[in-house]
Structure 1
Amino acid sequence: MARVVATVVLAVALAGVAVALLNYWQFKQAMATESGLQHLGRYITPALAGIGNAQDAITTVVALETLVNASRREAATQGLALDPCLFQLWDANDQLLYSSPQLGTQILRASGAQITQQAIAGQPYRVAQTDLPRWSVRIAEPKLADTAVLQLIVNDLLPALLLALPVALLPIWLAVRQGLKPLQHLSTQLQARSPNDLHALTADLRYAELNAVALAFNAVL
């Protein structure tokens, strides 16, 4: 029985590893085609499109920065620490109007909507730019380490795997338990016989395997 349980546990674990690797591959594919930076850029466009005043544009970008980074901090509740995204706002004359305090005097380097790589405070970041007629917003997103991605995937999968394990084990345990009953009955018969009892051993004819065991036992009496 212990071997059966171990086999089922191993099968569930291997299935979990396969699903985790598939999710990881899908994540890498998604990041290669379109990142969260580009999604964020599409939200920024309507927010700034109707703004003509520099101070209002700064206020809007700061509000967006606050909302984005608040959602990233919430990821810590899932055991995943995400550093904040960094923002810079430029006007149509390439004048810097706002920069995240963490950047200091560093300028984000971007080339339109094309994702570029840039080191900030020694850490790798992905930088994208959203252009409007009056404004240009550059956003730097910390590059997520592969270990952090896998940690997030495992955290998502683990509850489902823990739930699936007893569901998979229960029918197998019941089947094995039911299958062992005739063998236990035969074992009880053998233990109850006296050494001088030479009567033929009987077995439940519904179980061909046990009938063969009983016939072999009776043949040596």
Structure 2
Amino acid sequence: MKGLLRPTIVQRVFLALVVAFVGVWVALVAYFYIEFRQALAVDQGLKRVGRALTAALAEVDDDAQARLLIRAAATEYKTLRLSGNPAGSLLLELRLRDGGPLFASPGLGAQALSGLPLQVVDQELNGKTYWVYRSDAGRWSLQLAEPKITGLWILEYNARRMLPHLMLAFPIVLLPIWFAVKLGLRPLQRLADRIAERGATDLSPIGLDPRYAEIKPLVSALERLLQQLRERMARERAFVHDAAHELRTPMAVIAAQAHALAGAGNREDRERAQAQLEQAIARASHLTQQLLELASLDEARAPTPKRVDAAQLVRQLLAQSAPLAMKRRIELSFEAPDSLMAPIEVAAFQSILQNLLDNAIRYAHEGARVAVSLGVDAAGQLRLSVEDDGPGIPEAERERVFERFHRGAGHETPGSGLGLAIVRQAVLRSGGRVALADGLGRRGAGFHVWLPAPAA
């Protein structure tokens, strides 16, 4: 029972065919009903029969021949009547225009038809309603009567008449479609089998080239997904390897200085070992914090942006960096509107600005300038720029500065090589872009960030 209730494509095809056949059935019934109503309005069948018999009578002069003609017509039309007629057969009555009756159908009994010339009127006969039509030809007056057919009877009759034909056609149509669906789903089954046979860590290409155009997008999407997973796994392995390598140095320094501190024989040695120990701990702590920050930015789902005053937020972050800048005699400047409300992801925005400021202040020479600007460009995007007039970054290295653990040559300042990688990841997660150019006075480095956060 559960198997029958389980939704399948075959069931959906079967139900769709049932609905289609029911729709065709209803449409045909409605079509024949409308056709019947139009026939009544334009040229009723009773009129056509009356005109045909009247034309035949016009060529007869003898009463006996006229009677014989109408009797033969009555017998013929009786056999041609629709089976299941609600009231009975066609009734005919032939009279002399100036005399008595010549012929009357047995169904009339003692009653007589009373129609109007060339018109169809209703008349009650034996408790039933008939349509009556009268036509005069020469010496004779011919009247015809047939049971009045209602629209409801036409609907019921046509529905019963067409239903067996549709039921006969249903399996003939269903079987080819069922086979087509069954054969069409085989590539999907093969695809499922190939995926089911894989191990948990097997991200190799599927290697399936389906014939059907409808399945090619699915296979292509799976191949792209596996490619992305392979690249992601490769990045993660490289990240773990580089993180372990970077953490190994400060951990080794901490261990060495801890031993040196424990075995120091005088105060000067203890102070030197303690200073180097604290420096190694700070470096390890900074690296760990950056690794955690990068891992949080790697999450696929970003939090909902908040509408904040971006200019005020930048001022707060600049105030936090001011002591380090003053210590290195670096001039900090900020250019922005007094207030700039914008929907941004605060944590990502803070990571971007903090890392850019940290890089600019740490790698610029003493007495350098660092200029920060914030505004809205012509496209309505939030633009953040951090520029300095320090040593800058060579053209050959500008493509790699955003890679994880990449540190340019010629720097004496220690670092982890993660700051700009964090900037790029935060910008990408916010849906923006970052670019590196020349800094102040075409010297140093200038980092420009565009975020899709239209300001008010």
- If the length of structure 2 is used for normalisation, what is the TM-score? 0.42
Partner residue, 2:202: 199
Larger C-alpha radius of gyration, 1 or 2? 2
Partner residue, 1:136: 141
Conserved? CA contact 1:20–1:154, under 8 Å: yes
Partner residue, 1:96: 101
CA deviations over 1:49-69 (Å, ceiling 9, x no partner) = 233333332222111111111
Partner residue, 2:34: 25
The 5-angstrom pairing of residues 17-56 of structure 1 reads 17-56=26-65
Conserved? CA contact 2:118–2:135, under 8 Å: yes
Partner residue, 1:66: 75
SS state at 1:136 partner: strand
SS state at 2:68 partner: helix
SS state at 1:6 partner: helix
Partner residue, 1:148: 153
Partner residue, 2:90: 85
Conserved? CA contact 1:115–1:128, under 8 Å: yes
Letter in 1 for 2:17: V
Q: Distance in 1 between matches of 2:157 and 2:207?
A: 55
Partner residue, 1:127: 132
SS state at 2:193 partner: helix
Letter in 1 for 2:145: A
SS state at 1:26 partner: helix
Shift of 1:41: 1.4
Equivalent residue for 2:122, pick from 95, 117, 120: 117
Q: Distance in 2 between matches of 1:101 and 1:167?
A: 48
Q: Distance in 1 between matches of 2:31 and 2:139?
A: 43
SS state at 1:14 partner: helix
Q: Distance in 1 between matches of 2:123 and 2:141?
A: 18
Letter in 2 for 1:204: L
Identity value in percent: 31
Q: Distance in 2 between matches of 1:117 and 1:52?
A: 31
SS state at 1:189 partner: helix
Seen in structure 2, the aligned counterparts of structure 1 residues 208 and 136 have a Cα distance that, compared at 3 Å, is same
SS state at 2:123 partner: strand
SS state at 1:47 partner: helix
Conserved? CA contact 2:54–2:142, under 8 Å: no
Conserved? CA contact 1:203–1:211, under 8 Å: no
More helix by share: 1
Letter in 1 for 2:43: E
Task: Compare relative contact order (CA 8 Å, sep 6+) and give the higher one, 1 or 2.
Answer: 1
Partner residue, 1:177: 182
Letter in 2 for 1:187: A
SS state at 2:116 partner: coil
Letter in 2 for 1:120: L
Gaps of 5+ in 1: none
- If the length of structure 1 is used for normalisation, what is the TM-score? 0.81
Partner residue, 1:8: 17
Q: Distance in 2 between matches of 1:133 and 1:15?
A: 49
Conserved? CA contact 1:204–1:211, under 8 Å: no
- Number of residue pairs matched by the alignment: 214
Q: Distance in 1 between matches of 2:223 and 2:164?
A: 47
Gaps of 5+ in 2: 1-9, 211-215, 234-456
Runs of 4 or more above 6 Å deviation: none
Q: Distance in 1 between matches of 2:181 and 2:37?
A: 43
